Every structure is written in structure tokens, then in C-alpha cells.
Amino acid sequence: MPVRLRRQDEGVLPDLDDLLGGLRVVALPLHTRFRGITVREAALFEGPEGWTEFAPFVEYDDAEAARWLAAAVEYGWSPSPALHRTDVRVNATVPALPAADVPAVLARFPGCRTAKVKVAEPGSAPEDDVARVAAVREALGPEGRVRIDANAAWNVDEAEHALRALAPSDLEYVEQPCATVSELAELRDRIRDLRIPIAADESIRRAADPERAAAVVDVVIVKAAPLGGVRAALALTERLGRPAVVSSALDTSIGLAMGAHLAAALPELPYDCGLGTAALLAADVVEDPLLPVDGAIPVRRSVPSPRLLDRWAAEPERAAWWADRIRRVHALLA
């Protein structure tokens, strides 16, 4: 999807010097390996509306990263849209770890009534997934909500077999079980008897035609940064006409605040959101991180601590790598 910074939203692209002049790059350790990493890097800078974050994963190319910079600029340089709520209920996030470690992870998400469990990760056997999901169900009890995320790792046959094995854990939905829209449609037909809703993430945010994916799923996952900003994500959600779950990309509390503003701006928010991931970080850039309290996070802009920015500053060569990336992506947007 193309990125456009709209003047009517005060989304004029700032000069490159405005971005690089106050750039702070941080490298934050994680409690547990997640998405194959143990350290999360992010670039932070301050705009007229407050601090903002640019943190596409390092493997993303410049074209994809351009949406993230558009989102960062919008959040830092434009006022927020009208908000419908002051806090947002969030889910716990359980990485692909042994079932025995589940209680310790869930303890970092106090009051969360929903958990998203990573499955189908490299090196994780199907029986490991079943045990992990069952451990989450046991910990949350029958009233809890358990959703799983396969990150498009299964083909249709693998997805069907896995979901039939996981169905006894009473799944709220399965997120992106397969990579393509045709696979999602076929899987939906095959598992109608299980009554497990299907949610699309990558098929929404990385697709040239997200409407096609939305037509064959029950839920859409929307993320402010990968979709080009809060307003772009709001417009897309309205266009798709499906219940939405607002999620994050393992952001610092600066980036999570952007996601919280998106969630608060949606008129309807039927599902708990994936915005509690500050609990996966062993460090943050703010003194009061957006950690779940009673299962929710507040909707507010976060301000980094100079002490923590210094404490978790990335090595000079990594800071230079991010500055070069911003130069390239800024040129694409300009």
C-alpha cells in the first residue's frame, strides 16, 4: 500500500535534519527470546507533538520500512485523532517456550484475561505447541481467552492438523495460520466444524489488496506503525469492515503509546489488544513503562528518561546503521 503524508493531517514530512538532529537509538534486552531476537533496537526522536518511534525489524526492506517512518512522523508531528477511551485492555503474550515456563511469563501480565500464544516457530514441535497452549488454558481457567499466532508458518494441511490438536484448549481465534489468502480460504472451509475464527495479520499489513484477505477471515489485526500511522490504520479498519484487534511489534513504551492511541480512536474494540508487550522487555526507555495493570494500559504519550536513553544507548555502529536507514527511507517518502 502506498504511503502518503497528508497535509490536511499536518503530516508534512519534516526535514531529514529534524529527524537526525535529536535521534536516539536504543538496544533493549528481552526477558525471553522472541521472534528470534534477544535485543530489540529502536530509533527515537521528538516532534512538536511529542516523542515518537521508528523501529521496523532489521530484516525489513526500505520500502516496507517507509510505512513505519510515515507512522512515526504522523505521531510526532500531528495531533492525535479523537479518542473514545482512556485505557485499553491488553492480552498477555507467550513466546514459543516450554510449557513449564508459562506461569512465569503470565505473571508479567497482571490482570490480563486473554493470552496470545506463539506456535509453529522453528524448532518447536507440534506437541510442544499443544503442551504450551494447554498450559496457558490451565493457567487462565475456563473463563480466560486463548488465541494463537502461527505467523503464516503452516501450509493448509499442517494448519488443519494443528488446529484439531489444539481445539480442546478452546481457542478464541488463530492468527495468520497460513501465508496466502487462498490458503486461508481453504483452511476456513476445512475447519468449519471446529468453529475457530481466523484472523489475518501479515495478509492485511503486507498486502496490496487487504480487502481480499479480509473477505475470507473473521478478524483483522491492525498495527499503527506497519500500516503507515494511526489515521491510515483507522481508515483501513473502517474499509475492511471486520472486528479489529490492535497489536504492536515489540515496541518500546513510546511505540506502544502510538498503538494505544489507535486502539482508543476505534469506535468499537471488541477484543483485548496486543499492546502489553512492554512486559516482554527487560528494560525500557521511560521511567513508567506501559505495563499492564489490572489487564489494561493507559492511553497517553510516553516521554523517555534521559538516564535510560543513555543507559540503553545502542553501540555507535548500530546507531550509524539506523541513521543511514532513516536517510534512505526519508528519501523514499520525500
* Same domain (yes/no): 49, 101: no
Instruction: Classify strands 24-34 and 37-47 as parallel, antiparallel or unpaired.
Output: antiparallel
- The verdict on whether residue 53 carries a ligand-binding annotation is no
Residue 212 near residue 188 (C-beta atoms within 8 A): no
The reply to whether 154 falls in a domain is yes
pLDDT of residue 11: 54
The band of 253, judged by pLDDT with boundaries at 50, 70 and 90, is very high
Q: How many domains does the chain have?
A: 2
Annotated active-site residue in 118, 132, 261, 330: 118
User: Is residue 218 domain-shared with residue 266, that is, in the same domain?
Assistant: yes
pLDDT tens, residue by residue, 179-214 = 999 999 999 999 999 999 999 999 998 888 899 999
Q: Are residues 12 and 101 in the same domain?
A: no
- Is 107 found in the same domain as 47? no
18 is in an annotated binding site: no
Please indicate, yes or no, whether residues 251 and 122 belong to a single structural domain of this protein. yes
Given a cut of 50, is residue 6 above it in pLDDT? Answer: no
pLDDT digits (tens, 9 = 90+) for 265-307: 999 999 999 999 999 999 999 999 999 999 999 999 999 999 9
Confidence of residue 9 (pLDDT cuts 50, 70, 90): very low
pLDDT (tens digit, 9 = 90+) per residue, 150-165?
Answer: 999 999 999 999 999 9
Same domain, 213 and 279: yes
Q: Looking at residue 190, which CATH number applies to its domain?
A: 3.20.20.120
User: Catalytic: 223?
Assistant: yes
For residue 175, say whether it is annotated as part of any ligand binding site.
yes
CATH of the domain at 60: 3.30.390.10
Whether 314 and 247 share a structural domain: no
> Is 118 marked active-site?
yes
pLDDT at 41 over 90: yes
Q: Which residues contact 190 (CB under 8 A, 6 or more apart)?
A: 156, 160
Residue 165, domain member (yes or no): yes
Q: Pick from 122, 121, 112: which is nearest to 274 by CA?
A: 112
Shared domain check, 111 and 230: yes
- Do 293 and 324 lie in one domain? The reply is no
Which residue out of 223, 261, 325, 330 is catalytically annotated? 223
Instruction: For residue 195, give its domain range.
Output: 87-302
Domain co-membership, 32 together with 131: no
> Which pLDDT value is given to residue 7?
35
* Domain presence at residue 2: no
267 and 134 in a common domain: yes
Q: Is residue 77's pLDDT more than 70? A: yes
- The pLDDT value recorded for residue 1 is 42
Residue whose C-alpha is closest to residue 87's, from 285, 236, 291: 291
Confidence at 2, pLDDT banded by 50, 70, 90? very low
Whether the pLDDT of residue 121 is over 80: the answer is yes
Average pLDDT, the chain: 95
Give yes or no: residues 209 and 269 share one domain: yes
